């Protein structure tokens, strides 16, 4: 989720671009850069670290006058470490280009371009687009024709901005799956990945759509799609800058809950070959070599990431046939762990900086094979592990982890399929079925989020309760734990997750009318009927039950509850991911009704870097 800004006008492009990048600071970044074009000369400056580092380098540079056109970028790395060489903009001949997204076929494109004599300097997928565009321009194509031809060869998600030294009056734009807006000004136009970057200059916004190409000058905006000119509606934005950073949502948490369909698509992109049922994870080649000799997997994490590991255990044991243990990182690091050469230790962490998880990984390093599943390229945990599998959730601002959790589950399912293929424990047909369901997941998540108003209504009935119980069995048990954690950490209400089958061994003594019980109920047999029995046990003792389920009306006939929230069914393996969405929304709405600070709850930190 990089920050992108472009400018074409009659003022100093550099200061406008830097100001725009600053307002995108919430999108997180590990490096930044800017290219300005004055007459026929492109001047590019890049720096690793925060935007202040780029500003320091710019201040030290001699600049004669101001350039009226340019592009700027803050990078949230997905391919290639956060270094100056990997920072955007990327230059190639007469072109400077920035990109937000993932180019799936950059490896074959890079090989083809190297054949044509292109010299690559970075590890990124983006540099391929810069060279390809430059080659097409050098072949004599007009700027927009060259941009169109470049995009026709690129597979994946992209928001491209490019400038051509031979045409210093225009910014070339292309959009697919990754957001781009255009801010219309007087004698100037701005392009950005998000509205906050342009708000101080204009409130007139045009939102580009997938497949759109645009040529933006100081006085004109031409947009086409599939070779034909299109007119995109201009809107006037009334938001203040902070609301704009939240995409119009009241809190980052709600924005990130709604972001999950897109970021799951980003995490899956380029990693699945549905046709042959295989998973493409070249970063795990060492694991493929060792897969047959593995005897045991130990997963270590904290908090929400630990819940993801509990769910991942189901995927890995069922698909890959390897015994999987899940341990709190803070516990594992003070036990021997019995890690040997045939053990794979998987550390799961959104931030990659959680000290307990880093400590657990250090205990395993050198004894067994280690793998990090992380959302931040180049984080401490990634540098410590033998291999890294990145989630592509983008920066998660809200302390309560939502989209990171969902993409961790997706990454764990990809890992389980990868191991199943490497160990030949799952027929290709079965793997294809699972992948086919995963392809449907982003759309199912978009569909699921539409239950928000139903969940808000349930929250209104229960937000004053002082205790909640979350129950689930099998795959639903980790989701019950996660739902309880979300509620307690942002609404400060005591909430406990428990295996539904365990209720009768003590906790059922807690049940009375004052105790709402959230039952996570999956249609998968035989646990569906077993969980229904547990539901009746707690109802018989006066509990007010809220059911979250993938079951149908028919399945639920005769069951009366205080709240019934349904999610679409895609597959048994994926239902827990969808069943978790209503629990995220329940925690959110209960917290808002209780007036707590949803994004910055008391006593908590986004990344716990202390013991």
How is the chain split among helix, strand and coil, in percent rounded to 5? 40, 25, 35
- Least Å from the CB of residue 300 to ligand AGP: 10
Listed in sequence order, the residues at least 6 apart from 111 whose beta carbon sits closer than 8 Å to its beta carbon are none
* 596 sits near ligand AGP (criterion: CB under 6 A): no
Nearer to ligand AGP, 196 or 303 (CB): 303
Q: Which of residues 58-117 bind ligand AGP (CB under 6 A)?
A: none
Minimum distance from CB of 351 to ligand AGP (Å)?
Answer: 3
Q: Quick one: which segment of 41-49, 80-88, 316-324, 398-406 binds ligand AGP (CB under 6 A)?
A: 398-406
What single DSSP character describes residue 84? T
**CB of 379: closest distance to ligand AGP in angstroms?**
9
* Residue number with CB closer to ligand AGP (260 or 304): 304
6 or 395: CB nearest ligand AGP: 395
Specify the residue, 70 or 395, whose C-beta has the smaller distance to ligand AGP. 395
556, 564 contact by CB (below 8 A) = yes
Q: Is 608 in the site for ligand AGP (CB under 6 A)?
A: yes
| Nearer of residues 113 and 400 to ligand AGP, judged by Cβ | 400
Calculate the dihedral angle through the C-alpha atoms of 556, 559, 560, 562, rounding to the nearest 10 degrees: -60
Q: How far apart (Å, rounded) are the C-alpha atoms in residues 325 and 296? A: 8
Tokens coding 580: 């978790």
Q: Does 607 bind ligand AGP (CB under 6 A)?
A: yes
Residue closest to 80 by CA, chosen among 111, 118, 121, 113: 121
Tokens for 37, please give them. 């074009």
> What is the C-alpha separation between 272 and 270, in angstroms, rounded?
6
Q: How far is the CB of 54 from ligand AGP (least distance, A)?
A: 26
Judge contact between 323 and 298, C-beta under 8 A.
Answer: no
Q: Is 351 in the site for ligand AGP (CB under 6 A)?
A: yes
Question: What's the DSSP call for residue 86?
Answer: T
**Which CB, 26 or 120, lies closer to ligand AGP?**
26
343-349 and 369-374 as β-strands: parallel, antiparallel, unpaired?
parallel
Residue with the closest Cβ to ligand AGP?
A: 303
Scanning the structure block, which residue is given the tokens 């580009």? 208
**Separation between Cα atoms, residue 493 and residue 491, nearest integer Å:** 5
The three-class DSSP label of residue 517 is strand
Q: Which stretch binds ligand AGP (CB under 6 A): 25-33, 39-47, 94-102, 350-358?
A: 350-358
Residue of 2, 302, 309, 476 marked active site: 2
* Token reading at 610: 């202390």
C-beta of 521 vs 583, nearer to ligand AGP: 583
Sites for ligand AGP among residues 277-316 (CB under 6 A): 302-305
Count the Cβ atoms, other than its own, within 10 Å of residue 537: 15
Of 345 and 400, the one with the shorter C-beta distance to ligand AGP is 400
Q: Which is nearer to ligand AGP, 74 or 580 (CB)?
A: 580
Q: What is the CA radius of gyration of the chain?
A: 25
Q: Which stretch binds ligand AGP (CB under 6 A): 79-87, 237-245, 394-402, 553-561?
A: 394-402
The only residue of 401, 407, 448, 549 in contact with ligand AGP, by rule CB under 6 A: 401
Nearest CB to ligand AGP, comparing residues 224 and 353: 353
Q: Is 295 one of the catalytic residues?
A: no
* Minimal distance, residue 344 CB to ligand AGP, in Å: 19
Name beta bridge partners: 236.
204
Span interacting with ligand AGP, options 157-165, 232-240, 351-359, 421-429, rule CB under 6 A = 351-359
**Residues contacting ligand AGP: total by CB under 6 A:** 15
Residue whose structure tokens are 């044991």: 317
Stretch (H or E) spanning 454 = helix 452-462
Residue of the chain from 189, 267, 354, 413 that contacts ligand AGP (CB under 6 A):
354
Catalytic residue among 155, 367, 530, 606: 606
Task: Show the site string, 480-499: x = touches ligand AGP by CB under 6 A, - = not.
Answer: ---------x----------
For the bound state, the minimum distance from the C-beta of residue 258 to ligand AGP, rounded and expressed in Å, comes to: 17
Nearest to 316 by CA among 402, 421, 387, 407: 421
SS3 545: strand
CB of 491 to ligand AGP, least distance (A): 13
Q: Which helix (H) or strand (E) holds 429?
A: helix 428-448
What is d(CA 497, CA 471) in angstroms, rounded to the nearest whole number? 6
Q: How far apart are CA 608 and CA 543, in angstroms?
A: 36
Q: From the CB of residue 509, how many other CB atoms can be counted at a distance below 10 Å? A: 9
Rounded least distance, CB 40 to ligand AGP, Å: 47
Give least dist CB 336 to ligand AGP, A.
23
**Of the two residues 288 and 606, which places its CB atom closer to ligand AGP in the complex?**
606
Binding of ligand AGP by 349 (CB under 6 A): yes
- Which of residues 350, 370, 491, 522 is near ligand AGP by CB under 6 A? 350
Cβ atoms of 8 and 188 within 8 Å: the answer is: yes
Q: Which stretch binds ligand AGP (CB under 6 A): 219-227, 310-318, 319-327, 346-354?
A: 346-354
> Could you write out the three-class secondary structure of 282-306?
HHHHHHHHHHHHCCEEEEEECHHHH
| Residues contacting 153, CB < 8 A, separation 6+ | 109, 132
Which one, of 27, 42, 38, 22, lies nearest residue 162 by Cα?
Answer: 42
Distance (Å, rounded) from C-alpha 413 to C-alpha 425?
15
Cβ of residue 264: shortest distance to ligand AGP, in angstroms?
A: 17
User: What distances in angstroms separate CA 97 from CA 133, 157, 225, one per listed residue?
Assistant: 9, 15, 20
CA atoms within 13 A on the CB side of 94: 17
Least distance in Å: CB of 387 to ligand AGP? 18
DSSP one-letter code for 564: E
Q: Which is nearer to ligand AGP, 322 or 487 (CB)?
A: 487
List 214, 294, 399, 577, residue binding ligand AGP (CB under 6 A): 399
Q: Name the segment binding ligand AGP (CB under 6 A); options: 187-195, 199-207, 395-403, 520-528.
A: 395-403
How many C-beta atoms lie closer than 10 Å to residue 289's C-beta?
A: 11
Scanning 264-272, 347-355, 508-516, 585-593 for contacts with ligand AGP by CB under 6 A, the matching segment is 347-355
Instruction: Please tell me whether residue 407 binds ligand AGP under the rule CB under 6 A.
Output: no
Please confirm, yes or no, whether 606 is among the known catalytic residues.
Answer: yes
Q: Which of 357, 391, 491, 571 binds ligand AGP (CB under 6 A)?
A: 357
Binding site for ligand AGP (CB under 6 A): 302-305, 349-351, 354, 357, 399-401, 489, 607-608
Looking at the annotation, which residues are catalytic? 2, 606
């Amino acid at each position: 989720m990089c920050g992108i800004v472009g400018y074409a006008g009659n003022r100093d492009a550099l200061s406008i671009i830097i100001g725009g990048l600053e307002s995108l600071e919430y999108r997180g970044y590990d490096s930044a850069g800017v290219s300005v074009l004055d007459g026929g000369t492109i001047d590019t400056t890049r720096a690793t670290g925060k935007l202040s580092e780029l500003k320091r380098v710019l201040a030290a540079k001699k600049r004669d006058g101001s350039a009226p056109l340019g592009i700027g970028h803050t990078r949230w790395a997905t391919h290639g470490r956060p270094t100056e060489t990997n920072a955007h903009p990327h230059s190639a001949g007469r072109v400077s280009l920035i990109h937000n997204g993932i180019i799936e076929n950059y490896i074959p494109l890079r090989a083809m371009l190297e054949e044509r004599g292109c010299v690559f300097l970075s590890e990124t997928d983006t540099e391929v687009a810069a060279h390809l565009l430059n080659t097409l321009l050098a072949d004599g194509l007009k700027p927009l024709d060259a941009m169109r031809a470049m995009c026709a060869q690129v597979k994946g998600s992209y928001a491209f901005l490019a400038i051509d030294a031979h045409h210093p009056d225009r910014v070339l734009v292309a959009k697919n799956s990754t957001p781009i807006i255009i801010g219309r000004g007087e004698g100037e136009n701005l392009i950005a990945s998000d509205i906050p970057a342009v708000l101080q200059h204009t409130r007139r916004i045009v939102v580009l759509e997938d497949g759109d190409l645009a040529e933006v000058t100081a006085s004109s905006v031409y947009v086409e799609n599939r070779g034909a000119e299109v007119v995109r509606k201009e809107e006037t934005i009334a938001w203040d800058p902070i609301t704009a950073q939240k995409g119009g949502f009241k809190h980052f948490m709600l924005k990130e809950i709604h972001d999950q369909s897109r970021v799951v698509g980003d995490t899956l992109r380029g990693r699945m070959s549905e046709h042959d049922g295989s998973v493409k994870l070249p970063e795990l080649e060492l694991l493929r070599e060792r897969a047959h000799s593995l005897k045991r997997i130990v997963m270590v994490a904290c908090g929400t990431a630990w819940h993801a590991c509990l769910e991942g255990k189901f995927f890995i044991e069922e698909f890959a046939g390897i015994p999987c243990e899940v341990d709190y990182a803070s516990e594992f690091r003070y036990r021997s762990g019995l890690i040997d050469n045939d053990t794979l230790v998987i550390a799961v962490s959104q931030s990659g900086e959680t000290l307990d998880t880093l400590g657990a990984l250090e205990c395993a390093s050198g004894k067994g094979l280690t793998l990090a599943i992380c959302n931040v390229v180049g984080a401490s945990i990634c540098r410590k592990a033998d291999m890294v599998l990145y989630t592509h959730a983008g920066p998660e601002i809200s302390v309560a982890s939502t989209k990171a959790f969902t993409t961790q589950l997706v990454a764990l399912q990809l890992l389980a399929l990868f191991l199943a293929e490497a160990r030949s424990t799952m027929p290709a047909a079965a793997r294809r079925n699972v992948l086919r369901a995963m392809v449907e997941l982003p759309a199912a998540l978009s569909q699921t989020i539409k239950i928000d108003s139903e969940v808000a209504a349930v929250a209104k009935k229960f937000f004053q309760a002082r205790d909640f119980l979350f129950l689930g069995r099998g795959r639903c048990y980790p989701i019950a734990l996660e739902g309880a954690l979300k509620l307690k950490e942002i609404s400060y209400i005591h909430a406990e997750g428990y295996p539904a089958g365990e209720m009768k061994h003590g906790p059922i003594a807690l049940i009375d009318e004052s105790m709402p019980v959230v039952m996570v109920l999956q249609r998968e047999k035989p646990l569906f009927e077993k969980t229904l029995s547990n539901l009746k046990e707690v109802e018989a003792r006066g509990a007010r039950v809220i059911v979250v389920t993938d079951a149908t009306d028919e399945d639920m006939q005769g069951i009366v509850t205080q709240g019934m929230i349904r999610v679409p069914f895609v597959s048994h393996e994926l239902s827990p991911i969808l069943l978790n969405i209503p629990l995220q929304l329940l925690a959110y709405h209960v917290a808002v009704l209780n007036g707590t600070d949803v994004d910055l709850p008391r006593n908590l930190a986004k990344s716990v870097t202390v013991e």
